[in-house]
């Protein structure tokens, strides 16, 4: 498996609007587009661009959202996951599994429109890790 660029850092928040206000006040930056729903992941999403990567703000979409528990433990929100690109999502999944890592579910369409999956933090030094197929390299 080939490790690609750090695509984004996922930040869970109880309110995307409040988080955007923080980025606006602290950095003077505006989001890349309006927030949008990502039902497949159970989150509402909005991106803020940095020159070399992005911050992915994620807010729960419904009570069954996978980030509800995280926000119960971290009411202000906080750093939730990191996302690395790979050239081939299916090869990457097979590679993680061959190494004994717990892949959480099947690859699903992520916020950038390419397939993603998550690797359990217990197999990644405590960091929930999203693996994403590099846009434009779909097989």
| Alpha carbon distance 107, 26 (integer Å) | 35
Sign of CA dihedral 34, 66, 3, 23: positive
- For Co ion, the closer of residues 66 and 87 by Cβ is 66
Should residue 59 be labelled a site residue for Co ion when binding is judged by CB under 5 A? no
DSSP letter string over 16-40? HHHHHHHHHHHH----EEEEEEEGG
Indicate whether 56 belongs to the interface with Co ion (CB under 5 A).
Answer: yes
**Residues 62-101 interacting with Co ion (rule: CB under 5 A):** 83
d(CA 86, CA 29): 28
Tell which one of 43, 59, 115, 130 touches Co ion (CB under 5 A): 130
Does 59 qualify as catalytic in the annotation? no
Nearer to Co ion, 90 or 130 (CB): 130
**Positions in the binding site for Co ion (CB under 5 A):** 10, 56, 83, 130
Residues with active-site annotation? 130
């Amino acid at each position: 498996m080939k490790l690609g660029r750090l695509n984004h850092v996922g930040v869970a928040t109880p309110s995307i609007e409040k988080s955007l206000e923080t980025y606006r006040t602290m950095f003077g930056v505006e989001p890349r587009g309006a927030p949008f729903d990502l039902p497949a992941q159970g989150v509402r999403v909005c991106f803020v661009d940095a020159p070399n990567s992005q911050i992915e703000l994620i807010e729960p979409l419904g009570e069954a959202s996978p980030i509800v528990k995280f926000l119960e433990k971290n009411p202000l929100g906080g750093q939730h996951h990191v996302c690395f690109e790979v050239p081939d999502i299916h090869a990457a999944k097979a590679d993680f599994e061959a190494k004994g890592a717990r892949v959480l579910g099947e690859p699903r369409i992520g916020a950038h429109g390419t397939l993603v999956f998550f690797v359990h933090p217990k197999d990644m030094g405590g960091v929930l890790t999203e693996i994403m197929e590099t846009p434009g390299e779909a097989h």
